[in-house]
Structure 1
Amino acid sequence: MKYLVTGATGGFGHYALNYLQEEVPVSDIFALVRSEEKGAVLKEAGVNIRIGDYADKASMKKALEGIDRMLFVSGAPGNRQEEHANVVEAAEEAGVSYIAYTSFAGADKATSPLAADHIFTEGLIEKTGIPHTFLRNNWYLENEMPIVDAALKGGKFVYAAGDGKTGWAMKREYAEVAAKALVGTDYPAILELSGKPISYAALADSLKKATEKDFEVIGSDDQGFIENLVANGMPQSVAEIFLSFQYDIKNNQLDVASDDFEKALGRPLIRLEAGFKELLD
């Protein structure tokens, strides 16, 4: 059995590859990278490298030749629907027998602009008839590190999501489930992977406990949220992207309650306080 992980040089793909190596021989593991140079470190570790780009269907078809099971890590927003179509079509033509796809929390009910590409991709995969697991990932705790860093350096934990709740968990926990799915764990076709949904005010409390530091917690308007991030070194354009995430949370797009995650892992998720300690260590 040959297993391939896309997005292999990113954080999620890196974690997934590490977990995969605990389950199957490294000789059966393939990593999709955009160039030999980008894959050099993985190659040195004994992982097989395949060169491919989501934007180039021919390269994807060649990369997927002989692959049985694929972890399809979603690409970056932009031209994602066309790129994802290339990946799915290439997988079908190459005879891939299983796809685990990193989707969006509650994708079938979500109205977030972020969800549209994932709903589209889920539909493409379903049409192929290829057995699959849609890993509907909620928000990574790592995504909040700019807000966390601003709080610890500037003394202000500023958010603009109101009372909206999010099912935060560690990126490595999501990736562990992805690796388990890839090696054939008997999961349903859809996994809603969410931690217990909580507010930013509760998240800030976990951060205080983790760091034993006090800081001001501010439910802000849009301008105050952006100004705080920019004051702590984030470019204005990036701060505006982070603000768009706040809108989704305020609109309850990530308030998804499910016990799928802990069932899939076979254990409780790490407490957010411990997660912060791990990230800040």
Structure 2
Amino acid sequence: MVTGASGGFGGYALDWLRRLAPEDDIVGLIRDPRKAAKVESKGFEVRIGDYGDIDSLMSAFGGVDRLLFISGAPGNRRSEHAHVVEAAKRRGVSFIAYTSLAQADLVHNMLSTDHVFTEAKILQSGIPHTFLRNNWYLENEALLFRHALKTGRLIYMSDEATVGWALKREYAEAAARVLISGNEPEVMELSADPTRYGELAQALEAATGKAIEAVDLDEEQFVEALRDDASEQTVQGMVEVQRLIAHGDLEVESDDFTLALGHSLLGLEDAVKEVLSKQHLL
């Protein structure tokens, strides 16, 4: 079973699982019945379950052996994630692959605390598992790319800190392969090569043929620069992310990603092109 099956990550994971296992063995869990047709149209069985409703999860998890547990949205994430783990345990799920965050047990930031909580719940459950500690989706930088193409400046506020950017579909492929394998370690740090924003600016320039300068700003300058491009809430969220990047929370050196995939990641320039194309920026 893939949870969050109507979302971007879940959709990619289902597509990869189709290549790795019989379609009849794959089930998608979604919260909103109105989105069922989107997943069913691909030929997958769909079950309805809400992380906030443990009874719905108990019903949906019947007969599920291996679970790709895609983390939910911030808010009531701890209680919701606890429901998922409890339902999985009571229904006899034999393996959980959980999408966590890079270095979750070593850092302390706005994102890590819920993941640490969930990892602990899974450990306490006794269910065999792999924590997929995903670094950062390159798609998350789409707003900065859009701003850079407009101004010629890729702005950031994280000094020389590095990030292990990769495409969401690559993280989803790794998750699908781990779910099928069952022989992976308990923790996998899924990170591409550590990369600075200056290098990302170079890749953006190469991908578009436009001159792009990487510009390190302080927080006030960063907020002001993006004021007309996004809501105040969105910009503040990006500030929080820039803070954790500057702190080194996404600085990871690991070969777990390529080991999980069985092949190399897409090069940064081509990955940037893919993001730009999907955002209709090319």
Name the SS of the counterpart of 2:47 in structure 1: strand
Equivalent residue pairs, number: 277
Give the residue type in structure 2 aligned to 1:107: A
Task: Quote how far apart the aligned CAs of 1:225 are.
Answer: 1.2
The one of 238, 252, 271 equivalent to 1:275 is: 271
Task: Quote how far apart the aligned CAs of 1:215 are.
Answer: 2.8
The one of 212, 230, 237 equivalent to 2:233 is: 237
> Partners in 2 of 1:152 and 1:231 — Cα distance?
15
List per-residue Cα deviations over 1:42-81 (Å, max 9, x = no partner): 1122111110111111111111111111000001111111
Give the residue type in structure 2 aligned to 1:253: D
Task: Quote how far apart the aligned CAs of 1:185 are.
Answer: 4.6
List per-residue Cα deviations over 1:19-53 (Å, max 9, x = no partner): 00111122111111113211112112211111011
TM-score where L is the length of structure 1: 0.96
The one of 142, 153, 159 equivalent to 2:139 is: 142
User: In terms of mean alpha carbon deviation, does 22-31 or 63-72 score higher?
Assistant: 22-31
> Partners in 2 of 1:268 and 1:27 — Cα distance?
29
2:201–2:212 CA contact under 8 A, matched in 1? no
Structure 2 unaligned segments of length 5 or more: list them: 278-282
> Partners in 2 of 1:276 and 1:185 — Cα distance?
32
User: In terms of mean alpha carbon deviation, does 218-227 or 251-260 score higher?
Assistant: 218-227
User: Hey, what does 2:205 align to over in structure 1?
Assistant: 208
User: Hey, what does 2:280 align to over in structure 1?
Assistant: none
Name the SS of the counterpart of 2:248 in structure 1: coil
Q: After TM superposition, which residue ranges in structure 1, 4 or more long, deviate above 4 angstroms?
A: none
Q: Percent identity?
A: 48
User: Hey, what does 1:108 align to over in structure 2?
Assistant: 105
> Partners in 2 of 1:174 and 1:209 — Cα distance?
24
Structure 1 unaligned segments of length 5 or more: list them: none
Matched, 1:24 2:21: yes
Name the SS of the counterpart of 1:103 in structure 2: strand
Name the SS of the counterpart of 1:5 in structure 2: coil
> Partners in 2 of 1:223 and 1:64 — Cα distance?
47
User: Hey, what does 2:189 align to over in structure 1?
Assistant: 192
Give the residue type in structure 1 aligned to 2:94: S
List per-residue Cα deviations over 1:232-262 (Å, max 9, x = no partner): 2x11111001110000000000001111111
User: Hey, what does 2:59 align to over in structure 1?
Assistant: 62
Task: Quote how far apart the aligned CAs of 1:224 are.
Answer: 1.6
User: Hey, what does 1:77 align to over in structure 2?
Assistant: 74
TM-score where L is the length of structure 2: 0.95
> Partners in 1 of 2:275 and 2:101 — Cα distance?
23
Matched, 1:120 2:104: no
User: In terms of mean alpha carbon deviation, does 211-220 or 18-27 score higher?
Assistant: 211-220
Give the residue type in structure 1 aligned to 2:108: T
Task: Quote how far apart the aligned CAs of 1:228 are.
Answer: 2.1
User: Hey, what does 1:86 align to over in structure 2?
Assistant: 83
How much is the aligned-residue C-alpha RMSD, in angstroms?
A: 1.1
User: In terms of mean alpha carbon deviation, does 149-158 or 252-261 score higher?
Assistant: 149-158
> Partners in 2 of 1:192 and 1:36 — Cα distance?
34
> Partners in 2 of 1:35 and 1:240 — Cα distance?
28
1:144-183 equivalences under 5 Å are 144-183=141-180
